[in-house]
Structure 1
Amino acid sequence: MMTSPREFDLLAFGDPVADIMLRADALPPVGGKTLGQSLGIWPGGTTANVACAAARLGLRSALFGRTGDDAYASLLRASLLGHAVDTRWLSSMAQTPSASAIAVLAPTGEKSIIYMPMPAAPVEAHGLAQALAQTRMMYAMPYDFDQFAGLCHQARQAGVRIAIDLEAAVAPDPGQMRRRAALADIVFFNEAGFLAGTGQPPTPDAMREVLALGPGEVVVTLGAEGAVAINHGGHARHVAFPATVRDTTGAGDSFNAAYLCARLAGQALPEALRFACAAASCTVAALGARGGLPDQQRVACVLQHGIRPKETSA
């Protein structure tokens, strides 16, 4: 991996989340009821998961975010520290609940999520400036566009590259997507997010339209079908690695972290996709967003017995 004089390779921006996990055969209808099973409370949150996954893969990782002062706060902080994520910029808000989510797992391992964020608050500018000055890349899930635009301005001034995840809940229409994608260097979508943000499936031509907005790379995960990526040098696709799916929670976060790890290490687009697909196959085989996060050795084992990357020209 290329060395850098900055202390961190990746700064994840966002609040960690307590995942209240349930299992049910089906979601209840409006006004109805269904039987379920409690699976416990697990540390999660998209950006926090990426920070943990990146650290497991050897990146120097930090998180800029908040917890409340409730019972979840110590769980969230302890998990970050347990994954070797630097928490010096993780603040605590008094008399405030931490972010939480209710995740309902279907028998297939697919999940449905209700997200309950922390209340909005101004970003602590001095701490953010310190954090950005010490990192190579920032990763965010930009729900609040105005906050994200300010964050990007500071990141650019600090010479920091910007990677974002655009789910349908973040950018539910083409206008919302375009404004966010135009500010980033690397844009990640899942298939539903790409369809919501563009009105099209992720064909090479549709992905080039997003690329034309300004980012240098566009990556779309396709679940069991693998993933596709495009940059100004070409287009690549990789199928998913075989896996026994227990829980898909955090699989996209693991994929994104692994892709960034590979790209920061100088790997080409096809190899980065292959590496990321291998990492995701480990994550879905365990319960919880972080229960199956792999290290480099585990990904190498998958790759050794896996599928070679498929590459197509632009």
Structure 2
Amino acid sequence: MNIAVVGSINMDLVYQVPHIVKAGETLHSTKHEMFFGGKGANQAVTAGQLGADVNFIGNVGVDVFGEQALQNLQARGVNTSAIKKVGLTGQAIIQLADSGENSIVLFAGANFLVTTEQIQAERSKIEASNALLLQLEIPMPTVEFAASIAAQKGIPIILNPAPAQEISNSLLSKVSILTPNETELEVLTGLKTETDAELYQACSLLVQKGVGAVVVTLGEKGSYYLNSHEHGRIQANQVNVKDTTGAGDAFNGALAVGLCKGHSLKESILYASEVAAFAVTQMGAQPTLPSSF
């Protein structure tokens, strides 16, 4: 299981609050913690803990956060030889409500300095992979270039389209599995996503544009998937939620591992759902996973 990840690396600054702050409101945080994050790093750490050989292409800053982030990835078994140091390390300022829900402000930092030239220099790591994991916390041209390299070699591409934004039909046509949440699916299609019928219509539109399969993550409501020959809903495991930060990333990392193991799409989603369910019972976006996975 050789998985390439092109994406973001952040330091997460987490503030526990009674509820997500409203406009004009000032709240006292009851607790402050720092965790390693970034959608790319979260997915890489998950896949690495599940037994994959992970090569990461991205950036950290020339600062203390950057050095700490590199050491963390290395300690989790992620190959960091293609990670450059430039600018300031990306940060996520996270409000974590007592309910477990969160609100996030991103500072892109070094993540937005990941270039197509950097990807070209490390293209052999993508070409040698069994799957490529992508997200949208780095510049879109860089994402598109990395996808084109994988597509030329017939390597499966899993794209987590977050943060929500428009995606070109050219990129969509290269994606093997697209993993939006409800909000991201609405942005991509302009359609409502509240019922299964609406999910079917929105996912079908993306498949018509060339996406191999769409897997919609629905939080506590589980997930919905559709490809050219099957569709359905998978229920979420009922757990004691502590922190939903990074749950989708854990899902994506595990989904890639399941597919690389040769599991079917549905089997891989069930596996990813189990991993994500465990992740939300822990604090931080990169929890240590039990060996039972």
User: 2 CA distance for matches of 1:200 and 1:274?
Assistant: 25
The one-letter code sitting in structure 2 at the alignment partner of 1:151 is A
Paired position in structure 1 for 2:253: 257
Deviations 1:72-116, CA, capped at 9 Å, x for gaps: 0122112111211111111111xx210111011011111100000
Residue 130 of structure 1: aligned partner:
124
What is the aligned-residue RMSD (CA, Å)?
Answer: 1.9
* Partner residue, 2:158: 163
CA distance in 2, matches of 1:217, 1:46: 21
Give the secondary-structure state (helix, strand or coil) at the position aligned to 2:130.
strand
**Higher deviation after alignment, 248-257 or 286-295:** 286-295
2: CA distance between counterparts of 1:228 and 1:149?
25
Match of 2:147 among 152, 177, 182: 152
Counterpart CA distance in 2 for 1:65 and 1:42 is 18
Matched, 1:223 2:219: yes
Quote the offset at 1:181 in angstroms: 2.2
State the partner residue of 1:70: 63
Give the partner amino acid of 2:215.
Answer: V
TM superposition shift of 1:281: 0.9
User: Are the aligned partners of 2:246 and 2:284 in contact in 1 as well (CA < 8 Å)?
Assistant: yes
Q: Give me the whole-angstrom Cα distance separating, in 2, the residues matched to 1:195 and 1:178.
A: 16
Distance 2:93 2:68 in 1: 16
Cα distance, 1:294 vs structure 2: 4.3
Deviation at 1:125, TM superposition (A): 4.4
Q: How many residues get paired?
A: 284
Matches of 1:210 and 1:267, distance apart in 2: 23
Q: Secondary structure at the match of 2:270?
A: helix
In the other structure, the counterpart of 1:3 is none
Displacement of 1:126 after TM fit? 4.5
Any idea what SS the aligned residue of 1:156 has? helix
3-state SS of paired residue (1:76): helix
Aligned to 2:135: 141
Aligned to 1:190: 181
Q: What corresponds to 1:302 in structure 2?
A: none
Q: How high is the sequence identity, in percent, across the aligned residues?
A: 24
Query: What are structure 1's unaligned runs of at least 5 residues?
Result: 1-7, 300-314
Q: How does the TM-score come out when normalised to structure 1?
A: 0.84
Provide the C-alpha distance between the structure 2 equivalents of 1:203 and 1:217, rounded to a whole number of angstroms: 13
Q: Tell me, what secondary structure is at the counterpart of 1:75?
A: helix
Unmatched segments (≥5 aa) in structure 2:
none
Q: How does 1:1-314 map to 2 (within 5 A)?
A: 9-93=2-86, 96-118=87-109, 120-121=112-113, 122-123=115-116, 124-142=118-136, 144-167=139-162, 169-171=163-165, 173=166, 176=167, 178=169, 180-198=171-189, 199-201=191-193, 203-295=199-291, 297=292, 299=293
- Cα distance between partner residues in 2 of 1:20 and 1:177: 32
Shift of 1:162: 1.5
Letter in 2 for 1:9: N
Equivalent position SS for 2:275: helix
CA displacement at 1:203 relative to structure 2: 2.2
CA distance in 2, matches of 1:179, 1:156: 11
Question: What corresponds to 1:5 in structure 2?
Answer: none
